[in-house]
Amino acid sequence: MKIIEEFLQFLKIQKRVSEHTLDGYSRELQFFFQFLKGHFDKEIELTDLILSDFRSYLAFRKNQNLSDSSLARVVSILKTFFRFLERKKAIKNTAIILLRAPKKPKRLPRAVAEKDLFDMLHFIQKENLPSWVILRNQTLLFFLWGAGLRMSEVLGIKRQDLKQDILHLTGKGQKDRLVPILPLLNESAQEMLKAMPFDAQDADFIFRGIQGKHLNPREVQRLLERVRRVMGLSEDTTPHSLRHSFATHLLQRKTDLRTLQKLLGHSSLSTTQIYTKISSADLEKEYLHAHPRMKK
């Protein structure tokens, strides 16, 4: 649909959003327009949609077993789309402003235990895969856990970025931050590059798929799915949980909150403070386990 294509092009060029995000926006808007076709007996203008129409769409998506967090993202996508229509296409709909997203449940991110992380590395090293793929998967884990990077940031690393001791990253909301590259991370990346059966120029992404193309995020997700299934780990063990693990483990070692905030790229300290609650919960758990009066 032309209007969707123009919107996605705007996001890509003006907002510089990731391919993963573009794909999510595209699929949601296609769902939305397909819903409108079935919801109305006749063609209707986007300006004529009323609040109950938008709420009907949310109810439709909720019936597809979407969580409140996912529904909140649907609302965000629709509002972003209609703001684009108003500013770029002079198509205005005031009802969308009144649409409220479900409140996201406050949930503490789950960190992976250090022992499990080392076991994951051991599992990856023993998989029956080409040696360079094993090195790639190991290096992925190092950057996700060892540097606390988002998956999109890891997959965006280019060979030229490894020539310095500091990674210059542009994360969410186009916020820039600097993250040190530990020697272990650089050594692992260099070993992977030497073993890869593809040429790697400075401007090339370092993480490649089997065919030599830029590694797809879904492949990283599949890797973690495979590891957690075989090892019997929680379903919360995802690429993003490794970033949470990085933060939690640093905080447990008394890393300053402001330093952690800069490493993670959080715009607000309150976001980083979530991890103090995690550490407090871990402390209470250890206390209840260790105190002689608390034992059964």
- Are 55 and 171 within one domain? no
Give the pLDDT score at 255: 67
| Same domain membership, residue 257 and residue 127 | yes
Residues 161, 272, single domain; the answer is yes
Indicate the residue type of 46: L
What is the per-residue pLDDT for 275? 62
- CATH number of the domain that residue 73 is part of: 1.10.150.130
Would residue 104 count as lying in a domain? Answer: no
Q: Which domain holds residue 64?
A: 2-98
Per-residue pLDDT 10s for the chain (296 aa) are 889 999 999 999 988 888 888 999 999 999 999 999 998 888 889 999 999 999 999 999 999 999 888 999 999 999 999 999 999 989 999 999 999 988 766 665 678 888 999 999 999 999 999 999 999 999 999 999 888 888 988 999 999 998 888 888 776 656 677 777 888 889 999 999 999 998 878 889 999 999 999 999 999 999 999 999 999 988 888 888 888 888 788 777 776 666 666 666 665 656 556 666 655 445 444 434 444 444 44
Whether 40 and 171 map to the same domain: the answer is: no
- Report the C-alpha gap between 60 and 77 in whole angstroms: 16
Q: What is the pLDDT of residue 136?
A: 96
pLDDT of residue 287: 39
Same domain as 160, residue 61: no
For residue 137, being part of any structural domain is answered with yes
From the number of C-beta atoms within 10 Å of its C-beta (0-12, 13-18, 19+), residue 34 rates as exposed
Selecting among 208, 243, 244, 249, the annotated active-site residue is: 243
Q: How many domains does the chain have?
A: 2
The number of CA neighbours under 13 Å toward the Cβ of 63 is 7
Has residue 210 been placed in a domain? yes
CATH label of the domain that carries residue 198:
1.10.443.10
183 and 43 fall within a common domain: no
Q: Which of 172, 177, 214, 262 is catalytic?
A: 172
pLDDT at 137: 96
Residues 204 and 201: their CA atoms lie apart, in Å, by 5
Give the other-Cβ count within 10 Å of 124's Cβ. 21
Residues 174, 55 share a domain? no
| pTM attached to this predicted model | 0.57
Statement to judge: residues 77 and 193 lie in one domain = no
Active-site residue 42, yes or no? no
Q: Is 253 a catalytic residue?
A: no
CA distance 232 to 273: 30
Q: Which residues pair with 179 in a beta bridge?
A: 167
266 belongs to the catalytic site: yes
Residue 275 falls in the annotated catalytic set: yes
Catalytic status, residue 240:
yes
Asked if 243 is an active-site residue, the reply is: yes
**Same-domain check for residues 87 and 131:** no
